[in-house]
Every structure is written in structure tokens, then in C-alpha cells.
Structure 1
């Protein structure tokens, strides 16, 4: 993966968290769509796949959720679970982004000789 020496695993983590945010947002947006099947990304599997250069990557780590209770119309979105997962992922995304911004600042200062 490009940029590994500068950002290590954090670049890949940011990519996985961004993709997961999109999947969770789609689940929330489709909470009342009949037959919609909620999905999520297995963060550890996706990250290991990206870091190891394995085929499939994030797509292979995207799985359908198993709901506690499916609605009568076949929708498997449990809104409170999705909202909680989205909020947690957003915080983790922001933390990873803050780390990377700090790292970029360090590199910039080193290049300027500060």
C-alpha cells in the first residue's frame, strides 16, 4: 500500500473507516425500505486484507448483519444499533484523521528543518 512508510496502518484504517461510514449511512437511510438487508464491514478483516495485499479487501469484509428481530417487511435495519455504530465509527475516524494530521505536521516541520 502506498505511503506505508509514512503513515503505517493508519492510512488503511482511515480508508476502512470511511467505507464503513458509507455502509452504515446506507443502512440508516434505508431503515424503512421493505426487504432492505443491513450490512457492515468487519473492520479487522478489512484492515488485515488491505495491509496484507489480499484480494477482496473491503468488499470481502462486508457482511450482512444478523438482526435480533427482523421487521415484518423483511428489513433487517435496527435503527438504534446503526446509529450507535455510526457514531462510534465517526469518533474512530476523527481520531485516526487527527493522528494523521499530526504526522503530516511532523513531516512538514522536518522538511522545513524546524
Structure 2
């Protein structure tokens, strides 16, 4: 029983950390919306979660963006963090070759915020369940 609760909290904790990292990526994209040549980044959340929870082994070759872009500090490390980052394609052609689509970024930001809040609620519910079990009610 205790292992199930611990595993659930570990899983939700990993999901929360990845949601936070994705929020930082999206914020970085928004911050670079007017940077010429900037290529928007996002992560394959499902793949990142599988890797973070040990459900899948192996990582892709890391990719980097151009020098001069605003850096995103990662809660993950090295190739593991970079392996899940994807490049966005331009939704319409423009002269500065910037691929940030503000409509897409706003939608991603809102969607990720909702999922982040849901993950917090799951963690809260698990902790409440454990406390009730400890109290014996």
C-alpha cells in the first residue's frame, strides 16, 4: 500500500517538474517572439514523462538553438533535457525566419497551465488520502 502511494507521488512529482519545464520553454518562446531567426521550442511531454519515470531507456542526440537566444534553465540535465525538445515550424512565412506563433504559444501556455493545476490537485488528493489513512478515519 505504501509503495503504491509513494509511486503515485513520485509519478505526479515528475509530471509536475516536466510541466514546469514546459512552461519555461513556452515563456522563452514568447520572450523571443521578436528575435530574428529564433526557432520556437517545445517538448514531447509524453516521451519526457516516460523517460523521467524510467518507462523507456535511451535518448536522442541533443539539439541546440542559435547563439544569442534567451536561455531556458532546465530542471532536467544534459542530453536527457535536450532530447525531448522539438523545433516548431513556421505557421506562415516571414522575413525574419522567426517561428514563434503567438496564438499557438498562448494556447500551449493555457493548456499546460491547466495540466499543471490538475497535477497539483492530484498530489494534494494523494497527500490528503495518506493523512486520512494515518489518522485512521
Q: TM-score, normalised by structure 2?
A: 0.73
Please state how far the C-alpha of 1:62 moved relative to its aligned partner. 0.9
How many residue pairs align between the two structures? 112
Q: 2:105 aligns with which of 74, 78, 82?
A: 82
Q: CA RMSD in A?
A: 1.9
Matches for 1:60-79 after TM superposition, within 5 Å: 60-79=83-102
The answer on 1:97 being equivalent to 2:120 is: yes
Summarize the Cα distance change of 1:13–1:70 in structure 2 as closer, same or farther, 3 Å threshold. farther
Contiguous gaps of at least 5 residues in structure 2: 60-78
SS at match of 2:53: helix
Q: Residue in 1 aligned with 2:38? A: 36
Q: Residue in 2 aligned with 1:59? A: 82
Q: Residue in 2 aligned with 1:21? A: 23
Contact 2:43–2:86 at 8 Å: present in 1 too? yes
Contiguous gaps of at least 5 residues in structure 1: none
CA–CA separation in structure 2 for the residues paired with 1:77 and 1:50: 27
Q: Determine which structure has greater relative contact order: mean sequence separation of CA pairs < 8 Å that are 6+ residues apart, divided by chain length.
A: 2
Q: Residue in 1 aligned with 2:76? A: none
Comparing both structures, which one devotes a greater share of its residues to helix?
Answer: 1
Contact 1:36–1:74 at 8 Å: present in 2 too? yes
What do the CA deviations read for 1:17-68 (whole angstroms, capped 9, x no partner)?
1100000011111111111110001101101111117454332101111222
Please state how far the C-alpha of 1:10 moved relative to its aligned partner. 1.8
